[in-house]
Amino acid sequence: MDSVRDVDVQRVSMGSKSYDNDSVATESPLSVNLKLRDEMFSVGVLMRTPGDDVELVIGFLFGEGIITGIGQVIKLEIEEDCCHIELSEDSQFDPSEHVRKTSISSSCGLCGRDSISNLFHIEGKQINTSQNYSLETIIQSVITLRSSQNIFSLTGGSHAAGLCDSGGNLRLIAEDVGRHNAVDKLVGKCLNEGIEHPEDGFLVVSGRASFELVLKSIRFGFPLMVAVGAPSSLAIDMAKEHDMTLVGFVKDNKISVYSSPRRISVS
């Protein structure tokens, strides 16, 4: 598969060396170009794992606030490692805000931004405030996500994002070398399948909870984000600002809740 590559590797241990083959997650560039009112703009180069590229771009445009729905994408074509997009007049694209000054690496979803201060007060989907989630549901969602990570099983080098229903059942999953790319791919898959709002569903991610992941989660309206690892201070501040429940450090029978704990039940 294009998302995985075989490479030569030397195994070294105390007193011995051997040669072998290894599978690694592919990372390659995808340039994103927008056309609006007959003018072309480059919004950056995404360093991603090939696969679900259409969904990645749609999710990226949504997460950036460039579009508010898939209907604003008139045309999207990918040729080799270049994506050409035509947007409708009612899109939210603002060259001064959305054109990046640098490439977007697989480890940074906000690279090239002059400022992130205006991102705290974003407009997104209405977050559901009524649903409760049990401790068992949250723990099981992480176990289910891990068992469904095909690229990670082969390489040990990819992240995953999953949409779970209120019972913790996995509905959709996306994988990529970049944490934020995985979330963009997931949101793009949701929009492509007509899922415009998570309703009672929630997001589960395989790594830590960074600011850009929380930002993308809030834009789509996830009431709960579950991360295997730690959150950052800015991620917690963002979750509190928008009343999203943020959970981290999911291990065995224990979790840490960093914002809006009222949605979590232990019974």
- Please identify every residue annotated as catalytic: 108
The two structure tokens encoding residue 262: 């009222």
The H or E element containing residue 206 is none
- Phi, psi angle pair for 253, to nearest 5°: -120, 30
What is the C-alpha separation between 245 and 227, in angstroms, rounded? 11
Length of the chain: 267
Pick the closest to residue 30 from 181, 147, 210 (CA basis).
Answer: 181
Residues 227, 247 contacting (CB under 8 angstroms): yes
Q: What are phi and psi of 161, to 5 degrees?
A: -135, 135
266: which 2 tokens? 């232990």
Q: Count Cα neighbours of 4 within 13 Å in the Cβ-side half-sphere.
A: 16
Query: Burial of 233 by CB count in 10 Å (0-12 exposed, 13-18 middle, 19+ buried)?
Result: exposed
| Four-point Cα dihedral 61, 64, 66, 72, nearest 10 | 40
- Number of CB atoms found within 10 A of residue 25's CB: 21
Helix 211-220 vs helix 179-192: crossing angle, to nearest 10: 10
Alpha carbons 111 and 104: distance in angstroms, whole number: 6
